[in-house]
Every structure is written in structure tokens, then in C-alpha cells.
């Protein structure tokens, strides 16, 4: 089969599963996907990590994959103040959680904190001294990511 034929056959089988009320069809699809992921993990771990990152969407209201987060932060102007490693270290030193289920994963929190610093650090600096800036930015990011009305979406905000 050529690639187009394979795509069509997969789409046909997927639609049969998606439109069916037969749970066995979903289990079959799930089992095949587990086998595919085992192969990916063994043979293409970088790609497997990206696919698993996309599957994490079922755990979080706000999530980004590591690749998406890196891309977003790299395009910020003014530049984001922390690399992911610097941010994680500062979070650990402050005793802050990196994730909060079901609200946000670590990539969403990192990007949101970088967004606040990129967009508002000059304004915040007028009212907050440097020693409390990280705490204030953390708290503002958590406010956005856990807001009860759920309007803020890091994915929508950055178009991913």
C-alpha cells in the first residue's frame, strides 16, 4: 500500500471505532496504540516523548508539551528571564509545586510565568522589589491557570 492508501484505511478504521458503541473497538484501538508506543519508546524515544506530551491533554485544563513551551518562550519579546532549568531550580528553592492537577502542567506554568515577566516586569517592578518578584509572578500565573471561570487557556493565548 502507498501512504495515501494507508491514511485512508486508518481514517476508515478510526471512524468505525469512533462512531461505534462497541467498547471492544475502542479496546482494540487502544491495544494497537500501546504496541505502537512501545515500539516508539524503544526506537524513537524523542518522538515518543512528544506524543506522550500530547496525550497529557487528558490530565490538564492548561498544558503544553516541552517542545511547544520551548518554541513559545524562544519567541518572547522582551526575552523570557529564565531557561526551563533556571526556572525549575528557582521553583525548587522557593518550595513551589511545578504542577497542579487538573489545572496545569509544568510547561504551562513555566510559559505563563515567562509571559507575565515578558509583558509586565517593568510595571511589576514599580510596585514589587526584586526579592518578591518571583513569588508575585508565580502567584499571578497560578491565578490565571486556576481561575474558576476557566477563561484563560495557555494554548489559545499562544495559538497552539
Do residues 17 and 29 make contact, with C-beta atoms less than 8 angstroms apart?
yes
pLDDT of residue 54: 84
pLDDT of residue 50: 86
pLDDT of residue 159: 95
pLDDT of residue 150: 84
User: Does the N-terminal peptide bond of residue 78 adopt cis geometry, omega within 30 degrees of 0?
Assistant: yes
pLDDT tens-place values along the chain, 160 residues long: 699 999 999 999 999 999 998 999 999 999 999 999 999 999 999 999 888 988 988 999 999 999 999 999 999 999 988 999 999 999 999 999 999 999 999 999 999 999 999 999 999 999 998 889 999 999 999 999 999 888 999 999 999 9
Q: How far apart are CA 6 and CA 141, in angstroms?
A: 44
pLDDT of residue 130: 81
Return the closest-CA partner of residue 145 out of 27, 30, 64, 31. 64
Please provide the size of the chain in residues.
Answer: 160
| Relative orientation angle of helices 106-127 and 84-94, to the nearest 10 degrees | 80
Q: What are phi and psi of 76, to 5 degrees?
A: -70, 140
pLDDT of residue 136: 96
Q: How far apart are CA 140 and CA 9, in angstroms?
A: 48
What is the model's pTM? 0.81
Q: How far apart are CA 30 and CA 16, in angstroms?
A: 14
Do residues 87 and 110 make contact, with C-beta atoms less than 8 angstroms apart?
yes
Here the cell at position 91 is: 521553583
Amino acid at each position: 500500500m502507498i501512504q495515501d492508501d494507508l491514511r485512508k484505511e486508518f481514517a476508515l478504521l478510526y471512524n468505525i471505532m469512533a462512531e461505534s458503541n462497541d467498547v471492544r473497538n475502542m479496546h482494540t484501538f487502544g491495544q494497537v496504540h500501546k504496541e505502537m508506543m512501545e515500539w516508539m519508546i524503544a526506537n524513537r524515544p524523542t518522538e515518543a516523548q512528544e506524543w506522550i506530551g500530547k496525550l497529557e491533554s487528558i490530565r490538564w485544563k492548561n498544558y503544553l508539551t516541552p517542545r511547544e513551551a520551548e518554541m513559545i518562550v524562544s519567541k518572547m519579546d522582551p526575552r523570557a528571564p529564565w531557561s526551563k532549568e533556571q526556572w525549575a531550580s528557582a521553583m525548587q528553592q522557593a518550595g513551589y509545586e511545578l504542577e497542579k492537577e487538573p489545572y496545569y502542567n509544568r510547561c504551562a506554568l513555566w510559559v505563563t510565568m515567562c509571559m507575565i515577566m515578558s509583558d509586565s516586569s517593568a510595571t511589576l517592578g514599580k510596585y514589587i522589589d526584586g526579592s518578591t518578584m518571583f513569588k508575585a509572578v508565580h502567584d499571578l500565573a497560578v491565578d490565571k491557570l486556576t481561575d474558576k471561570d476557566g477563561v484563560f487557556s495557555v494554548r489559545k493565548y499562544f495559538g497552539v
